[in-house]
Amino acid sequence: MTDTTRREVLGWLAGLGAAAGAGLLPGRAQASVGVTAVRGVTLIDSSGVRPDATIVLADNRILAVGSCDLPLPRGSTVLDLAGKFVIPGLWDMHVHGAFMDRITLPLCLVNGVTGIREMWGFPPIYELRDRIERGEVFGPRLVVGSMIIDGPHSALPGAVIVSTPDEGRQAVRDAKGADFVKVYSYLDRPTLAAIADECSRQAITFAGHCSNHVPLGDASDLGQRTFEHMYGLPLATSTRETQLRQAIADLPLDPADPFAWFRQVLEFERQATLSHSRSKALQLAKRLQRNNSALCPTMVAMRVYASPADRFANDPRMKYMPAFYRDLWRDSLTRWVPVTPQEIRQQAEFFRRRQEQVAEMHAHGVEILLGTDAGNPYSFSGFSVHDELELLVEAGLSPKAALKAGTRGAAVKPGEAANLVVLDGNPLSDIRNTQRIHTVLTRGRVLGPDVRRQMLADVEKAAQEPFPTVQRTCC
């Protein structure tokens, strides 16, 4: 890290002062533009570790980063936080439920999550995203996907169903307001290829599930930016991939019960982990790197689906969820989770092997993104980001690598948005220290301990209020 020079600091202050009509001059700096300094912290970001650092914020931007003697304007708000650790704001790259703005948004912020990728978009969420950016709603940055595009016999109610390449192209053209297009599990190869081509024409990326009809490497070659939930990874790295893919092609699908087909594909994926090939994994990693494709494993959600139904039912964080969620989550798990002792053992092993494969992809240089699938059973907005960090480390990533996944490799440097999380412990020595949040700084606000406690109390109250409709979430 390089110190910000005194001349640079005074120049930036003068510029801010001019913008505010305050006429700041060297030696006469005033804090009329709302300057806040975080002093005495250990800064941890993508550029390294810097002890005894000072970070100066103004106008929702990082103004300067330097040592303890960095010059400050007279009247600055100084937060002396010696012994604390600062990381960039966290991102959850797979979220559902932004429409519950009084719950999802504050739960993210109090947990240091200052950016989220909403994976199922529709006009009210696009409007919410824009209102946040205009400062009308206090919330994390929102990146919002399209309506989910899926193929015939989709198991997902509410998805946009496309049966032909032309329909796929039209669905992309209809994705007005979306930041990216989301694709799903039942798309066939010609339709996915048409979607990919139309996305290129419309200058928009696409991301989502690995289609059960298209190998992961092939979808990456088509331009798919991210692959969610570890789907497709076991098959793509199995010595039995050809045989198992033929079994999928031959698998009958009952239109009246398409989920049964999906679940059988997952069983083939479990079997694929038993014939994992390191050489195939390396070749796949090279393709993903070449195509700039990333993996978003959402381990916290996949762990729920791999566990007995009641394992997480008494999580104390349920008090922050709408009352109807308890029944909704319990009921939605009935067709997913293992029941018999053998199934429970098999699913636990399946989950562990998929974790190892994610760590292997990371070791080969594939980008890993932190996502939680928040909104699905026992995956909690904000809170579960820290669970996911812990699971990434459990899988084999270092705390440093897990933090990179959770912050999108952000660096704290002048000109960047002032999204910072102050921790009471060093996350590099124990990733669980990301849960020990002291203060969150975002959008020009300082969310200290008292503010965060009040925000949580407000969410708990809002969770008890009736909701007029139930939005089905998805993975």
CATH number of 89-356+369-386+450-471: 3.20.20
pLDDT, residue 33, reads: 59
E strands, 308-375, in order: 367-368
pLDDT, residue 19, reads: 42
E strands, 306-412, in order: 367-368
Nearest to 88 by CA among 379, 370, 470, 380: 370
Query: What is the per-residue DSSP string for 296-326?
Result: E--HHHHHHHTS-TTTTTT-GGGGGS-TTHH
Task: Give me the half-sphere count of Cα atoms (radius 13 Å) on the Cβ side of residue 126.
Answer: 12
Beta-carbon neighbour count of residue 372 at 10 Å?
Answer: 29
pLDDT tens, residue order, the chain (475 aa): 445 555 655 555 555 554 444 333 233 334 445 899 999 999 999 999 999 999 999 988 999 999 988 988 888 999 999 999 999 999 999 999 999 999 999 999 999 999 999 999 999 999 999 999 999 999 999 999 999 999 999 999 999 999 999 999 999 999 999 999 999 999 999 999 999 999 999 999 999 999 999 999 999 999 999 999 999 999 999 999 999 999 999 999 999 999 999 999 999 999 999 999 999 999 999 999 999 999 999 999 999 999 999 999 999 999 999 988 888 999 999 999 999 999 999 999 999 999 999 999 999 999 999 999 999 999 999 999 999 999 999 999 999 999 999 999 999 999 999 999 999 999 999 999 999 999 999 999 999 999 999 999 999 999 999 875 544 455 6
393 in Cβ contact with 114 (< 8 Å) = no
Domain boundaries, the chain: 89-356+369-386+450-471
Task: Give the pairing of strands 77-80 and 420-423.
Answer: unpaired
Residue linked to tokens 């009210």: 124
- 3-class SS at 267? helix
> What residues does 180 pair with on adjacent strands?
145
State the DSSP H helix or E strand holding residue 105, giving kind and residue range, or none if neither: helix 101-110
Q: 152: which 2 tokens? A: 């015939």
Longest Cα separation, the chain? 78
